[in-house]
Structure 1
Amino acid sequence: RCKLKHAPLNDDFKFVALSYVWGDANDRVVMELNGQDFFITRNLFHVIRQFRDHIAQGQLRDEKFWFWIDAICIYLD
């Protein structure tokens, strides 16, 4: 489950620009984004799940992470 947030790109807003291999664009899974179904590539799903798992295992601090992800932040159609 993720949230999309509109934010100004200034020095006060901290985010991580996520870089990953898209993989097969037709191999998609659904995730929840702002309460709606949103299709993403399976590779992106695994990246997001790894961050979640690292937080759950205590390998990352349990805090909000803001990501900039091209497949979500840029309208691609």
Structure 2
Amino acid sequence: MYRVFAYRGFEIHARVAVAFEGKYNVFFQIRGGGNVRVMGNIGAPTQLHSGPFALAEAYLVAEGAGQAAVDAVIGPNA
């Protein structure tokens, strides 16, 4: 399953995979933005740990992690 979230000119792509019944592992990937080369390795899919998660929680955690990654790279006031 897959969702895309828009954040500060970037796209946060979240993909979940079934770990076991009702629980999911989640991956996120950052794409787009005006300066793609600045994204470097965070442009690669990244698995989030501390899971598996319930489905809604998996998407929420992926969105938050993606937002934090964008903020860390381009800064809070960019």
TM > 0.5 fold call: no
Tell me the TM-score normalized by structure 1. Answer: 0.29
Tell me the TM-score normalized by structure 2. Answer: 0.29
Structure with higher helix content: 2
Structure with higher strand content: 2
Structure ranking higher on relative contact order (CA contacts 8 Å, 6+ apart)? 1
